[in-house]
Amino acid sequence: MAEKKTFYITTPIYYPSGKLTIGNAYTTVAADAMARYKRNEGFDTFFLTGTDEHGLKIEQKAEAQGIKPQEFVDNMALSYKKLWKLLDISYDKFIRTTDQEHVLAVQKIFERLLKQGDIYLGEYQGWYSVEDEEYFTESQLAEVYKDDSGKVIGGKAPSGHEVKLIKEPSYFFRMSKYADRLLEYYKENPQFILPNSREKEMINNFIKPGLEDLSVTRTTVDWGIPVPSDPKHVVYVWIDALSNYISALGYSSEDDSLFKKYWPADVHLVGKEIVRFHTIYWPIMLMALDLPLPKQIFGHGWVLMKDGKMSKSKGNAVYPEMIVNRYGLDALRYYLMRAIPFGSDGIFTPEDFVERVNFDLANDLGNLLNRTISMINQYQDGLVDPVSTTEDEYGKQLKELANHTINLYHEQMDALHFSKALDTIWGLISRANKYIDETTPWVLNKEGKVDELKCVMSNLAESLRLIALLIRPIMTQSPVHIFEQLGLSLDDANATSLCWGAYGWQNYVTKNPKPIFPRLNNEEEIKYIKQEMAKAKPKKSTRSEQKQTNSEITIDDFAKVQLQVAEILAVAQVKGSNKLLAFTLDLGEKEPRQILSGIAAFYPEPQELVGKKVLAVTNLKPRKMLGQVSQGMLLSSEKNGVVKLIIVSNEHENGALLG
């Protein structure tokens, strides 16, 4: 007997710093759908997912909770596994970068690359975002802050997160050594990066301008894998994280049988934000290790909201648990795979979600099943006869469309076009519903046309059998319910043959058909989803609440703050902002000083403040906002959400120090 063909698919390993949204679930559901499809097709499939558990952000999250980093990631990994169980994710292995086998593999990989000269010791200086776990050059920053002399003192990453300057010894990977070889590989393997637009982006934005060597260790971070030959360094992010795809298979271990069996991966599924690391850094690492490259890397788009990226802070985050608990698992899995064209961004709205559940699932699929079962019970006492070999014109059309659907479905699933595959299946569902209206079974029954009626009922039952099998990789529960109502078993090899007429019907459907997708009340459910989204937004504490939660400070801490009296010479609204006011202040210095303050809402007539004396913190680092520099902070009070500047009497001289 010939060995089964293998298929190895991976998701990115998720960074366990917070709760996962439907955007994270999207990648994993897609990978799960593909893994299930390949298993159904007879492939020996291995599906990998997991967590990327090292880094500064994890240290900080753990410290904030008063626990050790290991305990923090243990808790987070457990919560992710719980979510994947809820979403019926059929992974074969869940890897964690704190697993001992992974740690040992990474250390062996690092030492090998160091020994052969692909890694060397140098010094790194760059702008680092803790939230993004990423370094940026000055030109890559979305915004920069400068001091009076024009020196860059900070800024924001493209994500909007603050960055800080880091300078430390670091080991570097000679990426530049492999740039030409990588470009040649792209040319020889046009399906390596999909969609093709991602490849062009990598070449034009990162490789052609000159591929810089990559910093791969840190000495300022403790929570990571130590470099065996230089333990004050820990392996930083990408050698650690990317190696999971081979360490999970036992690469460089005593038992590497899985690696020999499944590598190279058939497809890495990743979000578009990490395509660069998977299509540049990872292939170069594998080239340096003399290992085959993965066959394909697919960079999919994002699940967006109307106001942009999904974010807890925006109050637009949607969590999978809420959707599944209210509407069922298949409603979520169907929506994610149908509404988001794979490879492109898609927009989630409560209105679209509820509409798709009602029209696609309740009206189209659910109604087809309910009508068919009811008619078979009413007209044939629940018995389904074998599919006839002779058909009328309507029957021939339905059979031809079913066969065409099956062929097209295979093409689309193999290409990871899940949305198109579901479009194709729903075309068959629509045709089966139309077939009922064309053949009018109630008229055939009334006229006593028994043979024609049997043929129609068998064709409808056969259509539903095939539809259940086609949706099975994506919707894992509905096929079970459909088969149960048809009187079939998914354990029956004949019943699960994806071919028209392959099953010799002669069995009874259920006597008590139940809707598998009850129709939703549009207004009520849209309101519910919006309320749940709003709950996800963290409550913004008032200034007084923030003050109450602050820990005590020493007199030395207080002495670091320089407070001075300032007279307001002028005040104006900052262009492009409805919150910021720009204050020109006399602090007894040679030149007036500018401070920006986000209190415009509380001073609709800001000119009334001119001539008033206020208190300012004057030894803060200057900060640039909307193209203007703020050189300090004005003191204000807050009560019941109302903010007022602290005004002092004119007897205090400009520039006078408080203390």
Q: For 55-101, write each residue's pLDDT tens digit.
A: 989 999 999 999 999 999 999 999 999 999 999 999 999 999 999 99
DSSP string, 480-539: HHHHHHHT--TT-TTTT--STT-S---EEPPSS---SSPPP-HHHHHHHHHHHHHHHSPP
Would you state the pLDDT for residue 556?
60
Q: Is the peptide bond before 195 cis (omega within 30 degrees of 0)?
A: yes
More confidently predicted of 137 and 227: 227
Tokens of 287: 């080239």
Average of pLDDT values for 575-591?
84
Query: Could you give the percent of the chain with pLDDT greater than 90?
Result: 73
Would you state the pLDDT for residue 641?
65
More confidently predicted of 260 and 553: 260
Would you state the pLDDT for residue 547?
44
> Above 90 in pLDDT, residue 607?
no
Would you state the pLDDT for residue 539?
56
Topology classification of domain 113-218: Methionyl-trna Synthetase; domain 2 (2.170.220)
Would you state the pLDDT for residue 334?
98
Angle at the Cα of 295 from the Cα atoms of 291 and 301, rounded to 5 degrees: 125
Residue 167 CA to its chain's centroid (Å):
31
CB 596 within 8 A of CB 582: yes
Q: For 331-354, write each residue's pLDDT tens digit.
A: 999 999 998 887 788 899 999 999
Question: 613-617 and 563-573: which strand pairing?
Answer: antiparallel
Contacts of 54 (CB under 8 A, 6+ apart): 97, 98, 223, 224, 225, 234, 237, 240
Closest CA to 609 of 566, 563, 576, 652: 566
Contacts of 446 (CB under 8 A, 6+ apart): none
Q: For 440-470, write each residue's pLDDT tens digit.
A: 999 999 999 999 999 999 999 999 999 999 9
Find the range with the poorest average confidence among 35-44, 295-304, 574-583: 574-583
* Confidence class for position 128, pLDDT limits 50, 70, 90: confident
> Above 60 in pLDDT, residue 543?
no
For domain 349-508, which CATH number applies: 1.10.730.10, 3.40.50.620, 2.60.220.10, 2.30.30.100?
1.10.730.10
Q: For 360-390, write each residue's pLDDT tens digit.
A: 999 999 999 999 999 999 999 999 999 988 7
CATH code of domain 6-107+236-312 = 3.40.50.620
Average of pLDDT values for 435-441?
97
Sketch the domain layout of the chain as residue ranges.
6-107+236-312, 113-218, 349-508, 555-658
pTM of the complete model beyond 0.85: no
* Confidence class for position 637, pLDDT limits 50, 70, 90: confident
How far, in Å, are 213, 421, 439, 467 from residue 462 at the CA level? Answer: 59, 19, 16, 9
φ/ψ of 539, rounded to 5, equals -65, 130
Residue for token pair 């998701």: 11
Average of pLDDT values for 401-408?
98
* Confidence class for position 545, pLDDT limits 50, 70, 90: very low
> Above 90 in pLDDT, residue 628?
no
Q: Which amino acid is at 232?
A: K
**Strand partners of residue 610:** none
In whole angstroms, what is the distance from residue 649 CA to residue 502 CA?
Answer: 93
Burial class (CB in 10 A: 0-12, 13-18, 19+), 576: exposed
More confidently predicted of 564 and 556: 564
In this structure, the dihedral spanned by the alpha carbons of residues 484, 489, 494 and 499, taken in order and rounded to 10 degrees, is 40
> Above 60 in pLDDT, residue 233?
yes
Q: Is the peptide bond before 473 cis (omega within 30 degrees of 0)?
A: no
Give the number of residues written for the chain.
659
> Above 70 in pLDDT, residue 621?
yes
Q: What is the average pLDDT value for the chain, to the nearest integer?
A: 91
Closest CA to 297 of 168, 192, 426, 447: 192
* Confidence class for position 149, pLDDT limits 50, 70, 90: confident
Would you state the pLDDT for residue 55?
92
> Above 50 in pLDDT, residue 412?
yes
Angle at the Cα of 260 from the Cα atoms of 256 and 261, rounded to 5 degrees: 115
DSSP code of residue 256: -
Sign of CA pseudo-dihedral 362, 365, 371, 373: negative
Closest CA to 186 of 262, 277, 280: 280
Q: For 458-503, write each residue's pLDDT tens digit.
A: 999 999 999 999 999 999 999 999 999 999 999 999 999 999 999 9
In whole angstroms, what is the distance from residue 497 CA to residue 501 CA?
Answer: 9
Tokens of 260: 């020999």
Q: Cβ atoms within 10 A of the Cβ of 536, count? A: 19
Topology classification of domain 555-658: OB fold (Dihydrolipoamide Acetyltransferase, E2P) (2.40.50)
Average of pLDDT values for 135-139?
78
Angle at the Cα of 220 from the Cα atoms of 217 and 226, rounded to 5 degrees: 45
